[in-house]
Amino acid sequence: MKIEMSDSAILQTQHKSELPQIITIMGPTASGKTGLAIELAKKINGEIISVDSALIYRGMDIGTAKPGFEEQAGIKHWLIDIVDPQNAYSVAEFCRDSQICIKDILQRGKVPILVGGTMMYFNGLINGLSSLPNADAKTRSQIQLFIDQHGLQAAHEKLREIDPESAKRIHENDPQRIMRALEVYALTSKTMTSLQGIKPEPLPYEFTQFSLMPHDRALLHERIVLRFDIMLQNNFEQEVTKLRNNSKLHLNLPSIRSVGYRQMWQYLGGECSFDEMREKSIIATRQLAKRQITWLRGWEGAISLQTGNTENVEMILHKIQ
């Protein structure tokens, strides 16, 4: 049977093929995304844009497994070390900054490669952000006061009454996202769910997406343990000690709540033993990887690659050519 395409479909296909190509490599923590991206960048004259909510912070190198100068292998990396750890960094800010990077890379005839595991960043950039209001310090302080007086669980229950869909998506122990959802409602009288349903026009790029998935969950867990033990050997404790000496930093900040940093911060404060800190950090990292894998399994449009496959670069080259 012959299948015919309409004129509009043909025009859409032609238009898409003319769009600049952006490559994305997503995957759970410790899956080898950075190494794969660097190898690919060498082959296609590419530059890497980090899609990682922890690598943005200055002074947080060891616990984030931030690639050093030698590891970057001469490949330009963007959106690393751009924010002081006492400051917040939103999805909207990432979308703005990453688009600036993409334009710069394309104008110089290179290929943008977006790499990371912060799926909210990927989702905001590729699928678009709704018109959410900017953060408001006065409103946030009022919500924080409510949490201080009644607890985070009460704030999550309040969100459930206002916006049941957001409450389902947001974990009851996630203060940043709970506060943001309540803040949006306080500022607009509309739920975050309703506002997020209004999507802008897509970006003028063709996103060729790849997900790097572990074929053996046990092997990924071993990699997580090994990587954290290497962090400990590389003076992770001293790194967090330096952060604790900064009077502007505390446990409620998104930076310090990052996996590993929170647990080491608590150990240095005498809240747990060294062995407990290590075990809690490894468990938290595994839980993070599980959430990332769950999100990726439901992500549409990504070509799946297996962690550790020596032919991954060739497979990507074949798809993008």
Q: CB count, 10 Å around CB of 225?
A: 16
Residue 77, classed as helix, strand or coil, is strand
Nearest-angstrom CA–CA distance, 300 and 296: 8
Residue 300, classed as helix, strand or coil, is coil
Fold of domain 19-129+200-320: Rossmann fold (3.40.50)
208 backbone dihedrals φ, ψ, rounded to 5°: -100, 110
pLDDT in tens, 152-179: 999 999 999 999 999 998 988 888 899 9
Residue 207, classed as helix, strand or coil, is strand
- pLDDT of 215 strictly over 90: no
Task: Report whether CATH 1.10.20.140 matches the domain 137-196.
Answer: yes
* 8-state DSSP, 171: -
Q: What is the pLDDT of residue 196?
A: 80
| pLDDT confidence tier of residue 198, bands split at 50, 70 and 90 | confident
Q: What CA–CA distances, in Å, run from 157 to 150, 154, 164, 309?
A: 11, 5, 9, 45
Q: Which residues, listed in sequence order, are joined to residue 233 by a DSSP beta bridge?
A: none
Segments making up each domain of the chain, as ranges? 19-129+200-320, 137-196
pLDDT in tens, 10-25: 334 444 568 999 999 9
Q: What CA–CA distances, in Å, run from 270 to 151, 172, 190?
A: 23, 26, 43
Contact 240, 264 (CB under 8 A): yes
CA-closest candidate to residue 22, choices 204, 167, 178: 204
CA-closest candidate to residue 292, choices 65, 117, 174: 117
Q: What CA–CA distances, in Å, run from 116 to 210, 230, 284?
A: 11, 20, 18
